[in-house]
Amino acid sequence: MGLFTRDIKSLEDLFNHGLQDIYYAEQQIRQTLPQLIEQTTNAELKKTLKNHLAETENHVWRLEIVFAVLGQEPKGTRCKGIDGILSEGDSLLGNVEGRGVIEAAIIASAQAVEHYEITRYGDLIAWARQMRRDDLLKPLEDNLKEEKAADKKLTAVAEARINARADKGHGRRSAASKTRRKTHTARSAKRNGAAKHAAA
């Protein structure tokens, strides 16, 4: 079954595809988070990522409960969306330097993943309600709640210290830039004055 194919003919088909999509996504995230943790030196960020790794393990387990309630074997379908987000994050981290900037990029990459998951879980919950499958709701709602909390925690960590650390030296760069602009303006004025004098 693939998205945007005629295999999906009903809301139930769409739900099943979405379930397989997020199951695949959670497994990929479970593999990626340890790499981000390894690149992190900030204690609060490392703790946040480790906590979410443990939550991700539970997310996979809860999704397997949903599969069981549906009478299905847990199965993932390759998700180009999460693959693209993870690939983009990896590419971003490969192009930044400086500990603070790297950690700001880690948070940005992690939050891109969280926002994807929040959207997917929101869809699954809405579809389950529409199908009157209240027996599927709790595991999905628990996962959604933790994804939203992780996103908020990452924002708090970024705003508390990481972003400022990434911007360290910006004031000095700005001052140096202003000095260069003043020097350039003075030289330009001097050249213009000399040109006018020569023209006269």
- 6-19: pLDDT as tens digits: 688 999 999 999 99
* Domain spanning 11-168: CATH superfamily: Ferritin, core subunit, four-helix bundle (1.20.1260.10)
Q: What percent of the chain has pLDDT over 70?
A: 81
Q: pLDDT (tens digit, 9 = 90+) per residue, 95-106?
A: 888 888 999 999
Predicted pLDDT at 171: 44
Give CA 183 to chain center in angstroms: 42
Predicted pLDDT at 165: 87
DSSP single-letter state for residue 25: H
pLDDT at 59 over 70: yes
DSSP codes, 95-154: T--SHHHHHHHHHHHHHHHHHHHHHHHHHHHHHHHHTT-GGGHHHHHHHHHHHHHHHHHH
Please give the model's pTM, rounded to 2 decimal places. Answer: 0.79
Task: Tell me what the pLDDT averaged over the chain comes to.
Answer: 85
**Cβ neighbours of residue 112 closer than 8 Å, sequence gap 6 or more:** 85, 88, 89
Q: pLDDT (tens digit, 9 = 90+) per residue, 145-196?
A: 999 999 999 999 999 989 998 887 554 444 433 443 444 444 444 544 544 4
Residue with tokens 């981290």: 93
**Per-residue pLDDT band at 77 (split at 50, 70, 90):** very high
